[in-house]
């Protein structure tokens, strides 16, 4: 029976193949008609199934790309920020250095002008240290005996009196400030010509010792050096009277002055190696007599 069926299929296989093609064409035509009316069932099913996956995949990819892009942006932004900070720091350092140089040049210019104005021999020095204690007021300068600095020499600045060389080493020296209790300078009140001794106190000021009670002294008076003693030339600024008191019935009155030099901000000073009798202008044809500065005698 089977052999007969196979022989019939072989005999009519061309006709069967044609019939199958016609049937497949009819199916395709029907599917085409349905597709024009709406989406095919399987296509809709596959779309519903794959759309959420595509959406999730797209979201994940976009998120990763966004995070990675922001990370790259932040890395570049951080590097750029660091570079800008370094550039700003360099510019600020250069600006500070330039301002410091300008300030130093201005101070040195004043020192040079003051030195040229004075008819005395002086040595410029830089302040490299200051005594930290409150009992002993002194500074250290970078000039010593090898530069011509000796004990007892006067130390000044364009603003006025600074102090006196206390001790000198080959390359450095210690200067006793006028506000130290051990410092004493012969002084004159410029307005009334009253004479006294400007002595240091414990409060970075000076007091006018041995100022007669009968002398005319008022707050605001300028005090200058008298030129006595052969150390400080006459006419240099010592300070300004800020307080005057007449206590009891004694012979002397009390006067307190503020130094004309801010001794806490000193950076450069001048050491007088030779001083004239006074700072007044020389008379025509008259030779200025200079006396060398000597160290005070030991008691």
242 to 42, 87, 93: CA distances (angstroms): 107, 50, 41
Sign of the CA dihedral running 276, 277, 283, 286: negative
Q: Give SS3 for 240.
A: strand
- Cβ 152 vs Cβ 296: under 8 Å: yes
Q: To which residue do tokens 């030339």 refer? A: 233
- Cβ 264 vs Cβ 113: under 8 Å: no
Q: Over the stretch 196-239, which tens digit does the pLDDT of each residue have? A: 999 998 778 899 999 999 999 999 999 999 988 788 888 899 99
Tallying the residues shown for the chain, one arrives at 299
293, pLDDT greater than 90: no
List residues bridging with 114 in a β-sheet.
none
In angstroms, rounded to a whole number, what is the distance separating the alpha carbons of residues 173 and 231? Answer: 17
Q: Over the stretch 22-50, which tens digit does the pLDDT of each residue have? A: 666 566 556 555 554 445 555 565 555 56
Q: Give SS3 for 141.
A: strand
Which positions ≥6 away from 200 have C-beta within 8 Å? Answer: 137, 177, 178, 179, 180, 181, 182, 183, 206
Q: Over the stretch 240-288, which tens digit does the pLDDT of each residue have? A: 999 999 877 789 999 999 999 999 888 889 999 875 544 444 333 333 3
In angstroms, rounded to a whole number, what is the distance separating the alpha carbons of residues 204 and 187? Answer: 18
In angstroms, rounded to a whole number, what is the distance separating the alpha carbons of residues 246 and 254? Answer: 6
Report pLDDT for 51.
61
Hey, what are 185's tokens? 């300078």
Mean of the per-residue pLDDT values of the chain: 77
- Report phi then psi at 163, rounded to 5: 170, -150
């Amino acid at each position: 029976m089977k052999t007969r069926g196979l022989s019939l299929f072989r005999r009519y296989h061309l006709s069967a193949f044609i019939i199958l093609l016609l049937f497949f064409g009819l199916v395709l035509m029907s599917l085409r008609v349905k597709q024009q009316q709406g989406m095919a069932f399987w296509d809709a099913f596959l779309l519903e199934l794959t759309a959420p996956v595509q959406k999730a995949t797209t979201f994940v990819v976009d998120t990763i790309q966004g995070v990675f892009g922001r990370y790259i942006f932040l890395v570049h932004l951080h590097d750029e920020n660091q570079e800008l900070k370094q550039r700003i720091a360099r510019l600020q350092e250069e600006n500070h250095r330039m301002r410091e140089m300008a300030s130093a040049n201005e101070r040195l210019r004043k020192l040079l002008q003051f030195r040229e104005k004075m008819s005395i021999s002086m040595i410029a020095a830089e302040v490299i240290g200051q005594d930290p204690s409150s009992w002993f007021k002194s500074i250290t300068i970078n000039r010593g005996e090898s530069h011509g600095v000796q004990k007892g020499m006067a130390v000044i600045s364009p603003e006025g009196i600074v102090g006196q060389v206390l001790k000198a080493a080959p390359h450095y020296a210690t200067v006793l400030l006028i506000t130290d209790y051990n410092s004493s300078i012969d002084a004159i009140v410029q307005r009334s010509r009253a004479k006294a001794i400007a002595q240091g106190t414990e409060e970075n000021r000076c007091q006018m010792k041995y100022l007669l009670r009968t002398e005319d002294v008022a707050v605001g008076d300028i005090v200058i050096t008298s030129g006595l003693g052969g150390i400080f030339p006459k006419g240099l600024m010592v300070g300004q009277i800020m307080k005057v008191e007449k206590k009891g019935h004694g012979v002397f009155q009390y006067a307190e002055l503020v130094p004309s030099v801010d001794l806490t901000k000193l950076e450069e000073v001048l050491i007088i190696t030779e001083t004239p009798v006074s700072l007044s202008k020389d008379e025509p044809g008259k030779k200025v007599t200079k006396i060398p500065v000597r160290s005070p005698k030991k008691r």
